[in-house]
Amino acid sequence: MAFLITLQLSGNINFSLQVGDQVYHTLTSQLGGFHQNPNIQQTHIGEVIAIYPNSIQVLSEHDDGVGNPLPGIEPPDGAFISFSKNRIVNNNDLLGYYASAQFVNDSQFDAKLFMVGSEVSENSK
Protein backbone atom coordinates (compact mmCIF):
# COMPACT_ATOMS: atom_id res chain seq x y z
CA MET A 1 0.00 0.00 0.00
CA ALA A 2 1.33 3.46 -0.86
CA PHE A 3 0.70 6.86 0.67
CA LEU A 4 1.12 10.46 -0.49
CA ILE A 5 3.51 12.94 1.14
CA THR A 6 3.40 16.65 0.32
CA LEU A 7 6.74 18.37 0.93
CA GLN A 8 6.48 22.13 1.49
CA LEU A 9 9.75 23.76 0.37
CA SER A 10 10.93 27.21 1.44
CA GLY A 11 13.42 27.77 -1.39
CA ASN A 12 13.26 27.47 -5.15
CA ILE A 13 12.62 24.00 -6.55
CA ASN A 14 15.42 22.78 -8.79
CA PHE A 15 14.33 23.27 -12.41
CA SER A 16 15.56 19.80 -13.41
CA LEU A 17 13.20 18.01 -10.99
CA GLN A 18 10.69 15.93 -12.99
CA VAL A 19 7.75 13.67 -12.28
CA GLY A 20 9.20 10.18 -11.83
CA ASP A 21 12.38 11.30 -10.02
CA GLN A 22 13.24 9.63 -6.71
CA VAL A 23 13.31 11.91 -3.62
CA TYR A 24 15.51 11.51 -0.52
CA HIS A 25 16.06 13.40 2.71
CA THR A 26 19.20 13.75 4.78
CA LEU A 27 19.39 15.10 8.30
CA THR A 28 21.65 18.14 8.49
CA SER A 29 24.63 18.49 10.80
CA GLN A 30 25.85 21.50 12.78
CA LEU A 31 29.43 20.52 11.98
CA GLY A 32 31.25 22.28 9.15
CA GLY A 33 34.27 21.92 6.91
CA PHE A 34 35.49 18.38 6.37
CA HIS A 35 34.28 17.09 9.74
CA GLN A 36 30.86 15.54 9.18
CA ASN A 37 28.96 12.95 11.14
CA PRO A 38 29.57 9.59 9.39
CA ASN A 39 26.26 8.24 10.71
CA ILE A 40 24.12 10.63 8.66
CA GLN A 41 22.41 8.64 5.88
CA GLN A 42 20.07 9.41 3.01
CA THR A 43 16.53 8.16 3.47
CA HIS A 44 14.47 7.31 0.39
CA ILE A 45 11.07 9.02 0.53
CA GLY A 46 9.51 7.99 -2.77
CA GLU A 47 8.72 9.02 -6.35
CA VAL A 48 7.67 12.53 -7.44
CA ILE A 49 4.12 12.52 -8.83
CA ALA A 50 3.39 16.30 -8.91
CA ILE A 51 5.38 19.54 -8.78
CA TYR A 52 3.93 22.86 -7.60
CA PRO A 53 5.62 26.28 -7.12
CA ASN A 54 6.46 25.72 -3.42
CA SER A 55 5.81 22.02 -2.88
CA ILE A 56 6.12 18.57 -4.39
CA GLN A 57 3.97 15.49 -3.94
CA VAL A 58 5.77 12.20 -3.43
CA LEU A 59 4.26 8.73 -3.57
CA SER A 60 5.95 6.53 -0.99
CA GLU A 61 5.86 2.74 -0.78
CA HIS A 62 7.46 2.70 2.69
CA ASP A 63 4.52 1.81 4.91
CA ASP A 64 3.69 -0.56 7.74
CA GLY A 65 1.32 -2.65 5.64
CA VAL A 66 -1.85 -0.79 6.58
CA GLY A 67 -1.06 2.58 4.95
CA ASN A 68 0.85 4.31 7.74
CA PRO A 69 4.33 5.68 6.97
CA LEU A 70 7.30 3.92 8.54
CA PRO A 71 9.09 6.02 11.19
CA GLY A 72 11.72 8.33 9.68
CA ILE A 73 10.32 8.34 6.12
CA GLU A 74 8.74 11.78 6.38
CA PRO A 75 11.52 14.38 6.55
CA PRO A 76 11.76 16.52 9.71
CA ASP A 77 11.96 20.32 9.52
CA GLY A 78 15.39 21.44 8.31
CA ALA A 79 16.21 18.20 6.47
CA PHE A 80 18.12 18.46 3.18
CA ILE A 81 15.93 17.26 0.28
CA SER A 82 17.66 15.74 -2.76
CA PHE A 83 16.57 13.76 -5.79
CA SER A 84 17.91 11.36 -8.38
CA LYS A 85 16.95 11.06 -12.03
CA ASN A 86 15.62 7.98 -13.75
CA ARG A 87 18.74 6.65 -15.54
CA ILE A 88 16.69 4.95 -18.27
CA VAL A 89 15.01 8.20 -19.33
CA ASN A 90 17.85 10.65 -18.54
CA ASN A 91 20.93 8.82 -19.73
CA ASN A 92 22.66 11.66 -21.58
CA ASP A 93 26.21 12.96 -21.30
CA LEU A 94 26.92 16.63 -20.81
CA LEU A 95 27.20 18.59 -24.04
CA GLY A 96 29.16 21.73 -24.84
CA TYR A 97 32.56 23.22 -25.54
CA TYR A 98 33.67 24.65 -22.20
CA ALA A 99 33.70 23.59 -18.57
CA SER A 100 34.98 25.29 -15.46
CA ALA A 101 35.45 23.91 -11.97
CA GLN A 102 36.52 25.56 -8.74
CA PHE A 103 37.64 23.62 -5.69
CA VAL A 104 37.62 25.44 -2.35
CA ASN A 105 39.03 24.19 0.94
CA ASP A 106 36.80 25.73 3.64
CA SER A 107 38.75 24.05 6.43
CA GLN A 108 41.39 25.80 8.52
CA PHE A 109 43.77 22.96 7.74
CA ASP A 110 45.65 22.03 4.58
CA ALA A 111 44.03 19.40 2.37
CA LYS A 112 45.38 17.44 -0.59
CA LEU A 113 43.41 16.77 -3.74
CA PHE A 114 44.55 13.43 -5.09
CA MET A 115 42.42 13.09 -8.21
CA VAL A 116 39.82 14.83 -10.35
CA GLY A 117 38.06 13.03 -13.18
CA SER A 118 35.74 13.99 -15.98
CA GLU A 119 34.04 12.49 -18.99
CA VAL A 120 34.22 14.17 -22.39
CA SER A 121 31.84 13.38 -25.23
CA GLU A 122 32.34 14.81 -28.70
CA ASN A 123 29.03 16.31 -29.72
CA SER A 124 29.60 18.27 -32.93
CA LYS A 125 31.14 17.09 -36.17
Per-residue pLDDT tens over the stretch 19-74: 999 999 887 766 655 545 566 778 899 999 999 999 999 998 877 777 777 777 88
Q: Where are the domains of the chain?
A: 3-84
DSSP classification of residue 38: T
pLDDT at 87: 67
**Residues 3, 109: Cα–Cα separation, whole Å:** 47
**Residues 14, 12: Cα–Cα separation, whole Å:** 6
C-beta of residue 17 within 8 angstroms of C-beta of residue 23: no
**Average pLDDT of the segment spanning 67-93:** 76
94, pLDDT greater than 70:
no
Compute CA distances 6 → 50, 70, 106, 114, 125, whole Å.
Answer: 9, 16, 35, 42, 46
pLDDT at 37: 57
DSSP classification of residue 14: P
5, pLDDT greater than 80:
yes
C-beta of residue 96 within 8 angstroms of C-beta of residue 43: no
How do residues 97-119 score in pLDDT, each as one tens digit?
666 788 888 888 888 888 888 77
